[in-house]
Amino acid sequence: MAEQRVFSAIIHKEDDIFVAECPEVGTVSQGYTIEEVIRNLKEATELYLEEFPIPKTTRPWLTT
């Protein structure tokens, strides 16, 4: 079974479209609803990580 990780999504609205970014990976996506932008960001991040996996020795990010 693949290891599950939790990443952040920063979402903001530009005119009539939502833009989402995953700061840990650097992926960005957009959508007309919050649900759509999250779905698109998840897909973009999964595809990116298939090509460029994060090494297991990477320490987790701490945010406050």
pLDDT of amino acid 5: 84
Q: Which of 47, 46, 48, 39 is nearest to 20 (CA)?
A: 39
Asked if residue 60 is part of any domain, the answer here is no
Asked if residue 34 is part of any domain, the answer here is yes
- Give the other-Cβ count within 10 Å of 36's Cβ: 15
Encode pLDDT of 30-49 as tens digits.
999 999 999 999 999 999 99
Asked if residue 17 is part of any domain, the answer here is yes
Asked if residue 3 is part of any domain, the answer here is no
Instruction: Please state the domain count of the chain.
Output: 1
Cβ atoms 19, 11 nearer than 8 A: yes
Asked if residue 64 is part of any domain, the answer here is no
Asked if residue 23 is part of any domain, the answer here is yes
Give the pTM.
0.81
The residue range of the domain holding 44 is: 10-51
